[in-house]
Amino acid sequence: MNREVAAVRATFSLGRVAGIRVGVHWSVLVIFVLILVGLAGGSFREAHPDRPAWQYWLASAVTAVLFMLSLLAHELSHALVARRNGVSVEDITLWLLGGLARLRSEAATPGAELRIAGVGPLVSVLLGGLFALAAGLLAAVSEAGLAVEALAWLAGINILLAVFNALPAAPLDGGRLLRAAVWRKTGSPLRGTAVATAAGRFLGWALVAIGLYLVLLGAVFSGIWLVVIGWFVIALATVEGGQARLRELLGGIPVSDAMTPDPVTVPAATTITEFLADPSYRYRHSAFPVVNGKDTAAGLVTLERADAVAEPERPSTLVTDVMVPVGELPTPHPDDPLAPLVPELQSNPAHRALVLDGSRLAGIVTSSDISRVTSWLSPSSAWRKRTL
C-alpha cells in the first residue's frame, strides 16, 4: 500500500533504510504472534511431526521475521521508485495489514503512478520466486525439512501478497494501477481516484460479507479476520476519496488565502519564564513562531513544550532550546498552492506550517485554517452549481 497520508503512526522506529525512516506499529505484534503460533503449533508440526518443540518455535520465529522483511522490501520498493519519480517519501510503517509507505505528494503523471504502484507486487512475486527456488534447491541437497517448509511458506505468502495487492481497488496497489489507467484515459486524476475508491469500498464490503458468512459456517477465526481486513479497506478507501475531494475543493487556492498574516511572534532571546508570563501570549494560541532579528523564522514554540520545562530551569532556558526548528516544519511560500500543504500539515506533529517569503516570516497556517477555508468553499461551490 502507498498513500500520501497514512492513518497509521509508527509506535517505534527501526532507523533508516536508503535514507527513509522505517517504523513499526504495535499491531505488528499481532501478525508476528499469529504466524508464530500458527506455524509452530500447526503447519510445521503437522508436516514434520516428532521434532523437538524448540525447533518448531525457532523455525516459526525466523519465518515470521523473514516475512516482515519481505513486507519491508515491498514497501521500500514503492518508496524508492516514488523518490526516483519526484515524489518525496515521509516514511514507511509496518502494521497490522502489512506495510504503508507515506508519500508527501502525488505522482505527476499516470505513468509515474503506474511505476510507483506496480513495483510492489512485482517485488513480492520476485521474492516468492526466490524463496521457492531456495526451497527446491535445499530439498534436493539436504534433509532440512523444517527449513524447506519455511521457505515454501514464504514463497506462497509472498505470491499471495502480490495477488491481493494487485486487486484493482484502493487502497491496494491495484487500486493505484486502476487510478493510473482511468487517469490516462480521462485525463482526470480525480476521476481515477473516484473509480479506485469506489472499487475499494466494494471490495471491503465483499470481504465483510464473506467473513460474516464464514462465521456462520463455524470458521470463526478466518471469518473475523476477513471482516477486520474488509473494514480497514473500506475505511482507508473512504479516506483516500475524501482527500481527493479536498484537493479538488482547494484547487487554485494559494497558501496566502488560508494563512494568518503577521502572526504574534516570540523573539529568539525570550526565556521560558518570560514567554509563559507575558500577557501578550496568554490565552491567544497554543503555539507561536520564533523569530531572529527582523521576522527571520527560527522555529515554532508550543505551550506544551514550554510548560514541560521544570520551573527552576525556566529562567535560564530560551524558547529556542525547546522549539521545533524551522527545518522540521512545512515552510510554503505565500504563492504556493494550498492543496499539497494539507497532507504535510496532517503528517507533521506540530500540525502547523510557517509561511516564508525567503527567510522572512509572512504568516502561519494551521489545520483550523484549512477547515475554515473548506467551510467557506463548500457552500459557495454548492451555490454556484445551483445557479448555473
Catalytic residues: 75
- Partners of residue 21 on adjacent β-strands: 16, 91
- If phi > 0 it is left, if psi is from -120 to 50 it is alpha, else beta; for residue 50 that is left
Give the closest residue to 298 by CA, choosing from 277, 274, 268, 269. 268
Burial letters 353-373, b for 16+ CB under 10 A, else e? bbbbeeeebbbbbbeebbeeb
User: What is the rounded radius of gyration, in angstroms, for the C-alpha atoms of the chain?
Assistant: 25
Distance in angstroms (rounded) separating the CA atoms of residues 170 and 178: 9
Give the whole-angstrom CA distance, residue 68 versus residue 74: 10
Q: 182 is written with which cell numbers?
A: 482511468
> To which residue does cell 502507498 refer?
2
Beta strands in the chain (DSSP E): 2-3, 12-17, 20-24, 89-95, 98-103, 260-261, 266-267, 287-292, 296-302, 324-325, 352-357, 360-366
269 within 8 A of 318, measured Cβ to Cβ: yes
Residue 338 CA to residue 329 CA, distance in Å, equals 15
Sign of the CA dihedral 118, 123, 126, 128?
A: negative
The dihedrals phi and psi of 100, each to the nearest 5 degrees, come to: -145, 120
Best CA proximity match to 215, nearest among 231, 232, 227? 227
Helix (H) or strand (E) holding 21: strand 20-24
With cell 523569530, the residue in question is 291
Amino acid at 289: P
Q: Which three cell numbers stand for residue 90?
A: 515521509
